[in-house]
Structure 1
Amino acid sequence: MKKNRFLMILVMAVLAVSLWTITGCGGGGGSASNGTGTLRVALIDAPLNASEVNVDITSVQVHSTGGAWKTVETFTPAKHVNLLDYSTGGNSLMLVDSPLAAGHYTMIRLMLSKAEVVVNGQTFDVDLKNVAQTGVKCNGQFTVESNQLCAVTLDFNAQRSFVNTGSGTYMLHPVMSMSPVNIAAKVTGSVEFQNGTGVVQPLPADVVVNVYPQGSAGNPDALSGGAVVQLDGTFEIPVIAQGTYDIQILVGTNVVKTLSAVVITSPSTDLGKIIVVE
């Protein structure tokens, strides 16, 4: 699955995949300080040979060390998601952006009310009896720190999870992996174009903000995240790992400005107004 722009999340998050033993949001059994942090959960998918793979999600729950399941997001009505919409191009679906008590967590699960697979225009209901009570579980450890953003991406592998029984029906045998980001941040800002005398110019079409690890600007294989600039000039990257980055502003494929050694800190970093002189 090629990553163009990260969204993860959470779950960025976006943004998807290794587990790290780190503070903030990662593997390991370290303790967290008292208080409340923020959990973001994003969903991506590995593709299946079908035109649609639809699931109805009723809630997202997390399990704490030595504790019980806690619901962090409830969908009423159920959230109808075609997993194949998030299988290519770096797309992800933000499922959770919620306060969560600081602490160590060991699992995430999705509770489903319905699933179906559409192949060649024919819809097949998916038998959910394997997950009706337990939900679609994903084992993986992460730690939420007080006043920090923890970002987790769930990869719902449709190709391995939805099994054709050969008799015109499908069973769900879920395979889902988790990818926590280290201490993460939301990045916001705006872009303004000016002429040589400082007069504001109309915003061109197709303005994009790309973020790269420091020293890697322009390397497509190193792209850490990005966002499309909105008509009012603003942009938001929901989840990116805390660190130092180079940031490029592009119009189409042309780089019009580069910012070097930009420090991004949790829980959010506002880059302010980025002025591009034409």
Structure 2
Amino acid sequence: MKAKFVIPFLLSGLVWFSSCDSTTDSTGTARMEVRMTDAPGDYEEVNVDIRSVQIHKEDTDNESGWLTLDEINPGVYNLLDFANGRDTLLASANLPAGSISQIRLVLGENNSLKLKNGEVKSLKTPSGQTSGLKVKINADLREDVTYVVLLDFDAAKSVVARGNGEYNLKPVIRTITQAVAGGIAGKVTPAEYKPGIYVISAENDTIGGFANDNGDFLIKGVKAGTYSVKFYTGDAARDTTLTNISVSQDQIKNLGTVQLPIK
């Protein structure tokens, strides 16, 4: 008898732990992560002080159109730490779906260069970049899909010698925007069962959520792959599992109406 109560409790805990990025309703937003990587340069360190990351939905310089990503990791980053395929997360946010035209990095004053001989030089930012470093991206964000914008710095080209022993920071950046996760949606009936919904990978990794009062569900942040989807009601006679559900990285897979057994 004890096991019958323990198992549902553990499964419920798993859903809450793993479903922080899932909702039951479409929100009209997309998820964006901004990450930074670098091509090697002939220096010991190229330190860039990043204070804020912003995006603009229009191809204009209208200052009111900039939107700040609210989950920011500000700090001084040594670009050379992220060479050879390594990257780091700068900022992320849920954004309105649709087009974005450019991204802006707001830099602080603690930018510096460490030469091979160990000498440290201040990196001056040109006056034209005082409002931030703007980079064109021209990407379309689809509703409920997760994207990564990779800012690929070229450290060697971003540092410019001034001829007087000083150096300017004029960042040269290539951008790559890629959808990295989709989701699974549908409607379960009878809605009053309010099942827990588990999206289970071949490696047994699980993302979960719940259907709402109308039976609708949407599990976001599902990476491309093939999954089993289990509908757990706490009654084995009503539980249902769908197998071989394929998800692409830029798609919300709609399962339609899922009929659970009626006792």
Residue of 38, 46, 49 corresponding to 2:42: 49
TM-aligned CA deviation for residue 153 of structure 1: 0.8
Cα 1:264–1:170 shift into 2, 3 Å:
farther
Instruction: Tell me the distance in 2 between the aligned counterparts of 1:127 and 1:178.
Output: 23
- What does residue 124 of structure 1 align with? 121
- What does residue 88 of structure 2 align with? 93
- What does residue 206 of structure 1 align with? none
- What does residue 64 of structure 1 align with? 57
RMSD: 3.4
- What does residue 163 of structure 2 align with? 166
Cα 1:165–1:40 shift into 2, 3 Å:
same
TM-aligned CA deviation for residue 96 of structure 1: 2.0
Structure 1 runs not aligned, ≥5 long: 1-32, 193-237, 245-260, 270-278
Residue of 99, 102, 107 corresponding to 1:104: 99
TM-score by length of 2: 0.56
Q: Any residues of structure 2 matched to 1:1-278 within 5 Å, and which?
A: 35-65=28-58, 68-73=65-70, 75=72, 78-88=74-84, 90-113=85-108, 114-119=110-115, 120-130=117-127, 132-181=129-178, 183-185=179-181, 242=224, 263-266=246-249
Cα 1:143–1:111 shift into 2, 3 Å:
same
Q: Is the 8 A contact 1:58 1:74 kept in 2?
A: no
- Output one character per residue of 1:210-255: Cα deviation in whole Å (capped at 9) or x when no partner: xxxxxxxxxxxxxxxxxxxxxxxxxxxx997x478xxxxxxxxxxx
Cα 1:128–1:35 shift into 2, 3 Å:
same
Pick the structure with more strand per residue.
Answer: 1
Instruction: Tell me the distance in 2 between the aligned counterparts of 1:82 and 1:189.
Output: 36
Q: Is the 8 A contact 1:139 1:177 kept in 2?
A: no
Cα 1:111–1:133 shift into 2, 3 Å:
same
- Output one character per residue of 1:238-274: Cα deviation in whole Å (capped at 9) or x when no partner: 997x478xxxxxxxxxxxxxxxx994434799xxxxx
Of stretches 109-118 and 67-76 in structure 1, the one that deviates more from structure 2 is 67-76
- What does residue 255 of structure 1 align with? none
Instruction: Tell me the distance in 2 between the aligned counterparts of 1:243 and 1:171.
Output: 45
Q: Is the 8 A contact 2:72 2:91 kept in 1?
A: no
- Output one character per residue of 1:101-148: Cα deviation in whole Å (capped at 9) or x when no partner: 112101011111131100121110011134542312211211112111
Task: Calculate percent identity across the aligned residue pairs.
Answer: 31
TM-score by length of 1: 0.54
Instruction: Tell me the distance in 1 between the aligned counterparts of 2:161 and 2:99.
Output: 37
One-letter amino acid of the counterpart of residue 134, structure 2: K
- Output one character per residue of 1:39-75: Cα deviation in whole Å (capped at 9) or x when no partner: 1111111111111111111000101026711111465
Instruction: Tell me the distance in 2 between the aligned counterparts of 1:268 and 1:54.
Output: 38
**Count of residue pairs brought into register by the alignment:** 172
- Output one character per residue of 1:168-212: Cα deviation in whole Å (capped at 9) or x when no partner: 21112221111111x3218996969xxxxxxxxxxxxxxxxxxxx
Instruction: Tell me the distance in 2 between the aligned counterparts of 1:63 and 1:132.
Output: 16
